[in-house]
Structure 1
């Protein structure tokens, strides 16, 4: 490695460190999740979270009844709805994660734009 390469590496590392210092720290998981309930799409996210919670509670209740069943037909009557409700709740929960990541990416882009305008 030449002297020029070392100087270039040192300059890039220093520039990265300065950029990260100016951008600031990333918000934690809880503030990011509560960020779902702000903005134009807050009502949609709220409805989805309420539906997810209702499906989860119904799934747990049906699963409880499934494990208390004494015969196969009763177990099937409670087991299938329990599985469907719990899986539906999981799908809704997983569908919310891209929204969190999009909001995070949008914040990072705004920070970079602001840092470029300050320079």
Structure 2
């Protein structure tokens, strides 16, 4: 689930000076793929960014033809790198839909189904 700005604000009020890190990673990526530190006093307004990929991980925002979306344009979030699952046990049909060849390098991409966009963060 997306981090809630209201919960971030509440925690910042309860624990002044605390640094909060938002981590994003579905089960198919076996842990966090991206993180975004929220420094004390940095209060997200409408959403909490998921941040940038960790070492040996990757994230791409792609259009329906698997082209990179320019900054500010919404597309589907795809994940890459170490820790991706091999697929869904007993579900080769779903595996074929959600785990696709990586057009930017070796390996596969995981199609998250989440909408995202790159911005200055």
TM-score for the superposition, normalised by structure 2: 0.22
* TM-score of the two chains, using structure 1 as the length reference: 0.22
Instruction: Identify which of structures 1 and 2 has the higher relative contact order when contacts are C-alpha pairs closer than 8 Å and 6+ apart.
Output: 1
More helix per residue: 1
Structure showing greater Rg = 1
Q: Which structure carries more strand by proportion?
A: 2
